[in-house]
Structure 1
Amino acid sequence: MKKILFIGDIVGQKGRQAVSFHLPALIKKYKTDFVIANGENATHGKGLIEHHYDALIAEGVDCITLGNHYDAKSEIRKYLDGANGLIRPYNLMNEYPGIGTMIFKDRDWSIRVTNLLGQAFMSEEVASPFDSLKKIIETEEQADIHIVDFHAEATGEKYALAHAFAGSISALIGTHTHVQTRDARILSGGTGYLSDVGMTGPYHGILGVKAENIIAKLWHQEKTVFTLDEQKEALFSAVLLQIDETTGHTIDITPIYLVEKL
């Protein structure tokens, strides 16, 4: 049995602080075998610079996935190809450095992590996540465990992709909305599922941003610069998967939601 910890979208300094505070203790408590984190918002709320990538790896994260803000910090193009624990969305339409699916091998087991972007209500045009995942499963080297980070807006699209490949992947974990859902379940064929793992970042405000910024945009249609809410409380959202590496099936899926003053 392997224990996989998946950390939701890390947002800004508060998110990085929350990882630093909680991750070592969680690794020790659960005796995790592998840690995945979505880091697309880790640098000031958008993008991921190399220094913050290195820091998250040093904290104990094994694989960092991205999302629609993959290119928000242009320096990522310079280091992405050499970052052994970083993957960008697989189904981009244009050529871009890096890869969107990666296999990690230990002595007696292996895990593949795949990063996909959704199409519904997302601003960037991408290739079909369904066709993309089918291609990965049919053409890439198989691993004992296969985890998919589906960075998407629509819950229905997330459910559809998970059901379409139930039994062919170990788990599909949704990211992007920054709100943890309460629908953790195991689908047919042993595929673990959670519509959204949530956010690791500022606890107050709206989705990590100061509330007044979001209200000004949505209510008054004002052009505003989003500023991260930096009050003391930080949120740590994650999900713990217990997966039988001999079958690739998820045996247990447990969301984690922690709030701490940092």
Structure 2
Amino acid sequence: MKLLFLGDVMGRAGRQAVAEHLPRLRAEWDLDFVVVNGENATSGMGLSGAHAKALLEAGADCITLGDHAFDQKDMLQFIEQEPRIVRPLNFSKAAPGKGARVFNARGGKRVLVTQALGQVFMKRPFDDPFSALETVFRAHPLGGQVDAVMVDFHCEATSEKMAMGHWCDGRASLMVGTHTHVPTADAMILGKGCGYLSDAGMCGDYNSVIGMQRDEPLRRFITGMPKERFAPALGPATVSGVYVETGPDGRAVRIEMVRQGGVLAQSGPQ
């Protein structure tokens, strides 16, 4: 299978970049399934129902969220109506929606998409992501009930992401990190066939401070004093993510970092 994962969509610029590039990428790369992390797509804080619809219409088969999952209050109801949105598995047990779902892909293939939140350096404590994912993996073995497994691990620490990658090895087709908005250069296939990338980066304007207009973050770093609210940067956006091809057993056989548009060097499968 040919799988694409796009990192955190950041504000209007990120949404526009996904709408511009994703339809072309689906056709040119003959993609079977696409996951987009949309947790910052609405003003940099959460995802609204309207913007979720726009990402799905652009070509996403599934949208994952993150620690800002319900910053836009209409998502509390919208996620119950739209099964193509996956919230963090180890979020509050009272949260609406699901943290893992199986989707039908092209050619009758079945893809499990799940997301977990990390614990290291996060602003609030979340349940253990490893034990939460263990339950999902046991119910949906790779190469058995599902043809591919895509894991979005939303956290700060690269060490925690790497540990999760090795723990998923042999049970997932792809374990990709999100949350930091900074793309890493360590795409690889682990020993038992799990594609791995520490962070997919963001779909947003990189002439910024992790997607935010520069003045206010700089002011706070230099003076320690806030003056205004953060606002997403609106310049030309780069679509960032990772492309994975899997074999008949669901294990990764090829992985490529993806950069399209904006200011970063262009990359992707050739």
* TM-score normalised by length of structure 2: 0.92
Query: 1:140 deviation in Å?
Result: 4.6
The structure 2 residue matched to 1:157, chosen from 150, 156, 160, is 160
1:109 aligns with 2:121: no
Query: 1:94 deviation in Å?
Result: 3.6
Q: More strand per residue: 1 or 2?
A: 1
**What count of residue pairs does the alignment treat as equivalent?**
258
Indicate the residue corresponding to 1:248 in structure 2.
Answer: 250
1:132 aligns with 2:132: yes
Q: Aligned letter for 1:109?
A: K
Indicate the residue corresponding to 1:22 in structure 2.
Answer: 21
Q: Aligned letter for 1:259?
A: G
Matches within 5 A, 1:84-103: 84-103=83-102
Judge conservation of contact 2:10–2:40 (CA < 8 Å) in 1: yes
Three-state SS of the structure 1 residue aligned to 2:225 is coil
Judge conservation of contact 1:93–1:125 (CA < 8 Å) in 2: no
**In structure 2, C-alpha distance between the alignment counterparts of 1:87 and 1:248, rounded to whole Å:** 21
Indicate the residue corresponding to 2:268 in structure 1.
Answer: none
Three-state SS of the structure 2 residue aligned to 1:204 is coil
Three-state SS of the structure 2 residue aligned to 1:229 is coil
Query: 1:138 deviation in Å?
Result: 1.6
**In structure 1, C-alpha distance between the alignment counterparts of 2:89 and 2:234, rounded to whole Å:** 32
**In structure 1, C-alpha distance between the alignment counterparts of 2:59 and 2:167, rounded to whole Å:** 32
Judge conservation of contact 1:10–1:200 (CA < 8 Å) in 2: yes
* TM-score normalised by length of structure 1: 0.95
**In structure 1, C-alpha distance between the alignment counterparts of 2:262 and 2:27, rounded to whole Å:** 18
Query: 1:130 deviation in Å?
Result: 0.8
1:226 aligns with 2:230: yes
Indicate the residue corresponding to 1:146 in structure 2.
Answer: 149
Greater mean deviation of Cα atoms: 99-108 or 186-195? 99-108
Query: 1:225 deviation in Å?
Result: 1.0
**In structure 1, C-alpha distance between the alignment counterparts of 2:168 and 2:43, rounded to whole Å:** 35
**In structure 1, C-alpha distance between the alignment counterparts of 2:22 and 2:155, rounded to whole Å:** 25
Three-state SS of the structure 1 residue aligned to 2:261 is strand
**In structure 2, C-alpha distance between the alignment counterparts of 1:176 and 1:254, rounded to whole Å:** 19
Three-state SS of the structure 2 residue aligned to 1:64 is strand
Judge conservation of contact 1:203–1:259 (CA < 8 Å) in 2: no
Query: 1:162 deviation in Å?
Result: 1.0
String of CA shifts for 1:71-111, please: whole Å, max 9, x gaps.
11011011111112101000013411000001012453110
Identity of aligned residues (%): 38
1:122 aligns with 2:122: yes
Greater mean deviation of Cα atoms: 179-188 or 163-172? 163-172
Query: 1:187 deviation in Å?
Result: 0.3
The structure 2 residue matched to 1:198, chosen from 194, 198, 201, is 201
Query: 1:139 deviation in Å?
Result: 3.1
**In structure 2, C-alpha distance between the alignment counterparts of 1:81 and 1:140, rounded to whole Å:** 22
Judge conservation of contact 1:173–1:193 (CA < 8 Å) in 2: yes
String of CA shifts for 1:21-78, please: whole Å, max 9, x gaps.
1111111110000110000001111111111111111111000000111011011011
**In structure 1, C-alpha distance between the alignment counterparts of 2:223 and 2:67, rounded to whole Å:** 26
**In structure 1, C-alpha distance between the alignment counterparts of 2:238 and 2:262, rounded to whole Å:** 7
**In structure 2, C-alpha distance between the alignment counterparts of 1:165 and 1:201, rounded to whole Å:** 28
**In structure 1, C-alpha distance between the alignment counterparts of 2:11 and 2:261, rounded to whole Å:** 16
**In structure 2, C-alpha distance between the alignment counterparts of 1:74 and 1:182, rounded to whole Å:** 35
**In structure 1, C-alpha distance between the alignment counterparts of 2:124 and 2:140, rounded to whole Å:** 25
Q: Any gaps of 5 or more consecutive residues in structure 1?
A: none
Q: Aligned letter for 2:258?
A: I
